[in-house]
Structure 1
Amino acid sequence: MSVISVVSLAYCCYSEVRGEHLQYSKFWNVNLQKKKKKTIEKEVTVPSRTGMLILYTPAFLAGLASFAIFPHEGLRFMLVDSALTIHFFKRVLEVLFIHKYSGRMVLDSNIPITFSYFISTVTMIYAQHLTQGVPEPEFDLKYIGIVLFLVGIGGNFYHHYLLSKLREKSDQGYKIPKGGMFNLVICPHYLFEILGFVGVSFISQTLYSFSFLMGTILYLMGRSYVTRKWYLSKFENFSKEVKCLIPYVF
């Protein structure tokens, strides 16, 4: 599963850079323009808010159920399970109360993404379960991981909030994000999401959590690259000094 996680997410990164985007958000319209009319008419779509709830809810419920399935697994397990459950619970709350949506999601894309989130969450929790009885790592990183996770989830939420404030209720268009770290990178929410998963990896200290982190970094690098490219193509006043993901570097 560690190999599958890295390879599949690396392939998603490659697909994003090639222009084969996952069909939600602004990139749904990019794919829409490339498709033939008959193909589009056959596709089943759902409103973006509904689609995003479908994405995150199973993973959140898996994390929640794990507390009952594995009730006495120790502090490290509880911290990993809590971090994953909080991560997806935050996502669900953001979908319901923070984000504003203007597009639709293709159900054919929605289902595999949902499955991926669910399987990754279950695998990370089960991998932690398998460490029961194994000696603790020589270098215990879980407390550093807790701090990184909290900073990551807080920064991710803050920049999602800034994105939500770009639109009025009747506004369906896209604008250049401002505030926070948006003057340095176009996807600071991705940067903080990565930081959050660095924290989860440090708490967990399993091979799978590290592999999932590496795959996530690759995918979000690809996603941020095409996001910056999209803004450059849509807005003449978009600053070329704004990087993709890492301030002043990438």
Structure 2
Amino acid sequence: MCRSVDVKQAVLAKNDDLAAALRADLAGRGVAVVNLLSSPGSGKTELLCRVLAHAVATGVPVAALTADLATENDARRLARSGAPVRQVLTDGLCHLEARQVRGHLEDWLPADTEVLFVENVGNLVCPASYDLGETLRIVLMAVTEGEDKPLKYPTAFGSAHLVVLTKTDLAAPAGFDEDAFTANVRRVNPGVEIVRSCARTGDGAAAVLDRALAARDGAPQHHPPLAPRPHSHDLDGAHGDAPGHTHNHPHPASVPAS
């Protein structure tokens, strides 16, 4: 078992090295990378479509990578914004890694890009462990998911530079207790900013783009406290993994430096 853990630690260490190099390269080109994490069905794609459309309308050069296990549905949706979009198919992998991001950027990312949005696989477990070379990590949650979700997924919420609460138009019908949600976020990530959004109306899109541009410009970012939280699972597709996918790896002790 110890040897298995060592292998996983080596995998994460290699990913961290690739991510650091990618972050330095893109920062040198004036590009901020925004890593978007959430559960499936949080409204992440629709909000991102609004953010991209707002950027295009205001003359901000942006691009997006969107990851899924299968289909190019999200890339087609996001492309309606007018921004350059590329689909990443993970072939069963439950998260993106820095090598995949780097590989898809080669000979594709427009030279004038200022913000690259990376829509991670819908999963709050594995993606939280992998640095993608991001400047800003955003974790999204819909009001329909329950106030206690930050406590159930402390690594994801604990590693966020920004938390976005989505589908706020459904808060009342869902009986969502926003005060309890805020308190739970603060328990795992004191001081993190929470932005409310509604993709149906576009609320929150401008705020997300503003935070991304601030990261591009080197504005001081919130540095969340994140302790190592090892997890182990032997899954049969339960978290978006390929059948039979097994791993046991520690979560990193810190998020990427901005």
| Same fold? TM cut 0.5 | no
Q: Bigger radius of gyration, 1 or 2? A: 1
TM-score for both structures, normalised by structure 2: 0.30
Larger helix proportion of the pair:
1
Bigger relative contact order, structure 1 or 2 (CA pairs below 8 A, ≥6 apart): 1
Larger strand proportion of the pair:
2
